Chain A
Amino acid sequence: MKFGNIKLGEIRESQIGAALAVSFLLFNVIFWAYPFVWLLILSFSDWRFFDVPTFSGLKNFFIVLDDPEFWRSLWNVLRFLGYYVPIVLTCSLAFAFGLQHIGRGKVFIALCFLLAHISSGVAYSLVFTKIFSSTGPMNRLLLDWFGFSIPWLSSPSMAMFSISLVVTWKFVGYYGLILYSGLVAIPNEIYDAAKLDNTPPLMRLFKISLPMINSQLIMVLVFAITVAFGIFTEPYMMTAGGPMESTNMPLLVIYESAFHRLQPGRAALMAVIIAIVSYLAIKIMRKILEKNVELV
């Protein structure tokens, strides 16, 4: 059967395609667009859960601007990135290069590293809290062997570093596999040619490997930035945002504002600001670091 130039089979196919696309759009409208619009409305509203939201103009905006805790949490995102990005990139690259040189058991090792990624955040945060305690096993060992201890989680200057170590442990397998997929796609001929030209290994790393996995590196960096703005469980469980609010992250402030202080309007505005800042951070990072690498 034909409708003009279109066969029935083709119509059915296009209908199925449209239906699938609609389900995706519907999902996004319900779970992304609707909450985001609601978030925007709340940002300009006075609401305490029980009453009807009333328009409050820029009141929430001025209160959030004047809130040192919120700005400190944004500063903490930068501090976290300062520790996390170099550590997680180095470890993930080491993992990816290591995986390249493993013959048997590659899948098993990759799965072992991925195990951390699927572990319960609450469970491992509790374990690391005990390990890193100033009177915990790690410090007991340091004291016995070297005569000193490290205030992993109890010093304002160390706590963020320790949390970034834990988050690195969680993501190193995941990021490593992304980088590994880029490394295995680099043709061996390029390395062979470089070796013939007596290019030293470090030069090969910086001139061949890293530029050739630029898209994977950018992907990892995007993930790292989103983790930095969205991190919650580790600081909530391990340090409660302390000591001296040195690990107080935006999501903790948003959560407390909404559900403990019962100020969902302010929390919504904070969420919108965080969304914009994180989007800009990713845009800037991509603008600076993203390269269009093509094998000609």
Chain B
Amino acid sequence: MRNIIEMMLAGAFLLISGCSGSDPTPEEFSDDKIIRLWVAPDESQEAFWKIVVERWNKRGSGIQVKFKTIPAVESSEKAILTALVAGNAPDLSTNIFSGFAAQLAGLGQLQDLSVMDGYKELVLVRHMESIMQGWDQGGKKYVFPLYSNPTLIWWRGDILQKLGINKIPQTYDDVYELSKQYAASDHKFGMQIMTGLNWYDRWYDYISFYYAASNGVPYINDGKAFYDNDAGLSVLTFMDTIYKNGWTALDFESDDPLTTGLVVGAVRGPWSVSFFKRMYPDTLKKIIVGPMIRKHKTDGKAYTFADSKGLVLFKHSKVKAEAFAFISWVLSNDELSLLWLEKTNLPPARGDLMENAIFKTFYEANPLAKQYAIYVDVAIPSAFIESTIDVQKIMGFEMVESVKFGTKPPETALADAVRRTNKLLKVAH
């Protein structure tokens, strides 16, 4: 009997210790004199933070920083939420998108960074005055953007050449023209219009096109849908024309259509550069990067969507000032911005990428990355709302998919989406 009890106790101990997994022990978190940082579970970003944290800890000018990647569960958001609820969240975390930041701020979990010592200096040194306007939440700044990935359009240069098109398509008419020519050949399409069926895919189709069409006007403003305008309608009419003429496929889930030459153009972010370098280097050589298309070409750069992630400081932290001092040191150092660029290929969120001499050599050697850097200052993040998912699901259901399947004309689709979004936001408020 005693043996059985001993075995049961041993089993229970194993079970309990097994459940705790590789999470840090409470003892690790009990130290108030350590800054705990979670970073994106991405090899290149991890490599950057490893070097930076080592340098900071060696300097000895502040308290020590301990970093780890966000635990590999289904999503960063889920891991961070779980940690917050369980009470073992870090002091700082990267990889936060605007919608999640709005949720966390709504739950009272985030520190307003704009009141921290050194915030204004940090914004000035990175020339981020205009970028930070896109991260404003009721006059507060809960997230500090680390990188800003503008969405642009990749064109197969070789196919454009074959079609006798010598300039990069920039307007809807340009796309119609090339689609007419290319779609006439063996089951080919002009452009990939819809990125996918998930709610976040709207960032890479409707919202990207909308920002370009509206010159950066927000799609949600003052708790109301704001895309009920000419720009919003012009995007839907463009999509409608493409689908009605069969100039795009219903989906492109099989292979990347740029690699197979199934389409001439598709919306892509800078993360695709390193992916194509690794997987499709031959295709990458044929790629020309162009701005987001719009109805008419106007002076100035075409606005676009910024797939941007930032850093937050949690309210529960006992080392807020020290943690922000660490972040100020990392982000105000130009050399470290260059290191970030070299390690990740993602444009740091700063307004001087093209002017600052320190980045010149990198961009000369990486022309595709340079194209993205050019658009950082006209790339706008998604709306700061807690209902990001629902707003974008409505966009997909009422507008993009309705137009895709021809169940509604663009005007009705737009009106329905705006009505449902306003109702949703009213309830949420």
Which A residues lie at the B interface, using CB under 8 A?
A: 48-50, 129-130, 132-137, 143, 151, 153-156, 239-245, 256, 259-262
Bound CA span A296–B131, Å: 83
Which residues does chain B contribute within 8 Å of A243, judged by CB atoms? Answer: 197, 401, 404-405
Task: Give A239 to B201 CA distance when docked, in angstroms.
Answer: 12
Which DSSP category, helix, strand, loop or mixed, fits chain A's interface? loop
| Interchain CA distance A259-B78 in the complex, whole Å | 7
Given A256-B389, A259-B81, is A239 in contact with B197 using a C-beta cutoff of 8 Å?
Answer: yes
Chain B positions near chain A (C-beta within 8 angstroms): 77-78, 81, 84-85, 103, 107-109, 187, 196-199, 249-255, 257, 262, 387, 389-390, 396-397, 401-402, 404-405, 407
User: What is the minimal beta-carbon distance from B247 to any residue of chain A, in angstroms?
Assistant: 14
Q: Are B254 and A262 in contact (CB under 8 A)?
A: no
CA gap between A133 and B389 in the complex, in Å = 25
- Tell me what chain B mostly uses at the interface: helix, strand, loop, or mixed: loop
Q: Which A residue's beta carbon lies closest to that of B250? A: A154
Whether A143 and B187, one on each chain, are in contact in the complex, defined by CB atoms closer than 8 angstroms, is yes
> Inside 8 A of A262's CB, which chain B residues have their CB?
81, 103, 107
- CB neighbours (8 Å) of B252 from chain A are 133-135
User: Does A153 lie within 8 Å of B81, measured CB to CB?
Assistant: no
Partner of A48, one of B107, B196, B199, B396: B107
Shortest Cβ distance from A72 into B: residue:
B397
Q: Report the minimum CB–CB distance from B394 to chain A (whole Å).
A: 10
Q: Is B254 a contact of A133 with CB atoms below 8 Å?
A: yes
Taken together as a complex, chains A and B put the C-alpha atoms of A153 and B404 apart, in Å, by 14
B109 cross-chain contacts in A, Cβ below 8 A: 50
Contact A50 B107 (CB under 8 A): yes
Q: Return chain A residues, CB-CB under 8 Å to B187.
A: 143
Contact B84 A50 (CB under 8 A): yes
Given A240-B197, A242-B401, A261-B389, also A137-B251 (CB < 8 A): no
Chain B neighbourhood of A259, CB < 8 A: 77-78, 81
Which 7 A-B pairs give the minimum distances between C-beta atoms?
Answer: A154-B250, A242-B197, A136-B254, A133-B254, A133-B253, A240-B197, A154-B251
With A132-B253, A135-B251, A135-B252 given, name 16 new contacts (CB 8 A).
A49-B107, A50-B84, A50-B85, A133-B252, A134-B251, A134-B252, A135-B254, A135-B255, A135-B262, A137-B254, A153-B253, A155-B405, A242-B401, A245-B397, A259-B77, A260-B77
Chain A residues positioned under 8 Å from B253 (CB to CB): 129-130, 132-136, 153
Q: 7 interchain pairs (CB within 8 A)? A: A49-B81, A134-B249, A153-B253, A240-B196, A243-B401, A243-B404, A243-B405
Contact among B254, B396, B407 with A242 in the assembled complex (CB-CB below 8 Å): B396
A47 CA to B262 CA in the complex, in Å?
A: 48
Contacts of B251 in A (CB 8 A): 133-135, 153-154
Chain A residue at minimum C-beta to C-beta distance from B85: A49
Kindly identify which residue among A48, A132, A135, A154 contacts B257, using a CB–CB cutoff of 8 Å: A135
Distance between Cα atoms of A86 and B97 in the complex (Å): 45
Nearest CB of chain A from residue B171's CB, rounded to whole Å: 26
Question: How far, in angstroms, from A78 to B77 measured CA to CA in the complex?
Answer: 32
What residues of A have a CB within 8 angstroms of the CB of B397 in the complex? 244-245
Given A133-B253, A240-B196, A243-B405, A50:B262 Cβ within 8 A? no
* Most A Cβ at <10 Å: residue of B77, B108, B187, B262: B187
Give bound CA distance, A155 to B196, whole Å: 13
Smallest CB-CB separation from A154: which chain B residue?
B250
